[in-house]
Structure 1
Amino acid sequence: MAIRHLAAAAVSLALAGAACAAESRGPVTNLPLPRYVSMKAAKGNVRRGPSLTHKIDWVFKRRGMPLEITAEYGHWRRVQDRDGAGGWVHYALLSGVRTVLVEEDMLTVHSRPDTRAPVTAAFELGVVARLGECEPAWCEISAGGYSGWAPKKKLWGVAPDELRE
């Protein structure tokens, strides 16, 4: 039992050290931390630590849900959702396909990144939309066969300063 506690402490120290030494780069992938991804699977166990021996705290059950990766350890990624809930998920359950969560009910999207442009659709609160191009204040999103430009500040899953072509 003491060996198990020592191993857990060693993992914690390694993760803390990796986070400091990485300077916003993942020690496994060398990709930026934090960064956004989405759920590839329709169901994914969220664990207390980065291994199958750690307890499952809950299960993500929404394919495409945007998540933020905050740490890496081997094949495991520490993620959190829009509400800050999270834990460790196996990397095979995640996708690099970018999605966002609509944070305003009946969010109108426009044909161009301009409030005066024609409205192309309105998305309900909580809709998961595919993320396209992003400018400083606007992002192009699509869901359910509809697409348009929405103010970035009304979406979760994209950094405020993020630009995408």
Structure 2
Amino acid sequence: MGAPLGVPPQQHATAAEPAGTVLGPSGLPLPRFVSLKPSRVNLRIGPGRQYAVSWMFQKSGLPVEIIQEYDNWRRIRDADGTEGWVYQSLLSGKRTAIAAPWKKDDPKALLELYGSPGETAGIVARVQPGVIGTVEECTGEWCRFDINKVRGWMKQSELWGAYPGEKFD
């Protein structure tokens, strides 16, 4: 079995794990956030190639949550709640997040990206819900969120891809 995939050690060491976290067979916490490596990933109904494909993700960097492990297979869940199995080599420990996907049906909703953690900092951008970016660090309340070379801080509660209170850098 290859090296387990998940949160890089430097992130895991300081991460506040969500309630109910346990260590999976890989030795890494369950649940945990990761992202999709390739732009096309088959989601299967069971942990093996013999199982039918139930969905195909077509977005590299999409954040997903690993909720179960079996051998080299990982059961994942996306922001919409879709669950299934993918081979571990199709996942990356790179942390990404989706800006408030629960607000994406509101055409007027915009989320602020601040120059530093805190609402008193200047706003560097306003982003639409559903935008995907890279999460570089989280303080437990704020996450540094990079979207297409625009870097700023967003409230952690407005991101799907970091647990409430989770800290890492």
- TM surpasses 0.5: yes
Question: Where in structure 2 are there 5+ consecutive unaligned residues?
Answer: 1-20, 104-108
Deviation of residue 106 (structure 1)? 2.2
The whole-number CA distance in structure 2 between the counterparts of 1:109 and 1:56 is 37
The whole-number CA distance in structure 1 between the counterparts of 2:140 and 2:67 is 23
- Structure having the larger proportion of residues in helix: 1
Find the partner of 1:127 among 128, 131, 140.
Answer: 131
Corresponding residue for residue 93 of structure 2: 96
The one-letter code of the counterpart of 1:81 is D
SS at match of 1:71: strand
The whole-number CA distance in structure 2 between the counterparts of 1:114 and 1:139 is 10
Q: Percent identity?
A: 38
Deviation of residue 145 (structure 1)? 1.2
The whole-number CA distance in structure 2 between the counterparts of 1:88 and 1:96 is 17
Q: Aligned pairs, how many?
A: 142
Find the partner of 1:142 among 132, 138, 146.
Answer: 146
Find the partner of 2:59 among 32, 43, 62.
Answer: 62
Where relative contact order (Cα < 8 A, 6+ residues apart) is larger, the structure is 2
Tell me whether 1:85 sits opposite 2:82 in the alignment.
yes
Tell me whether 1:71 sits opposite 2:68 in the alignment.
yes
Corresponding residue for residue 151 of structure 1: 155
- 1:61-90 per-position Cα deviation (integer Å, ceiling 9, x unaligned): 111000000011111000000111020001
Find the partner of 2:47 among 24, 46, 50.
Answer: 50
Find the partner of 1:117 among 117, 121, 131.
Answer: 121
Give the alignment's Cα RMSD to 1 decimal: 1.1
Question: Where in structure 1 are there 5+ consecutive unaligned residues?
Answer: 1-22
Divergent runs of 4+, >6 A? none
The one-letter code of the counterpart of 1:33 is L
The whole-number CA distance in structure 2 between the counterparts of 1:136 and 1:59 is 32
Find the partner of 1:36 among 15, 33, 38.
Answer: 33
TM-score, scaled relative to structure 2? 0.81
Deviation of residue 120 (structure 1)? 0.9
The whole-number CA distance in structure 1 between the counterparts of 2:34 and 2:51 is 23
TM-score, scaled relative to structure 1? 0.83
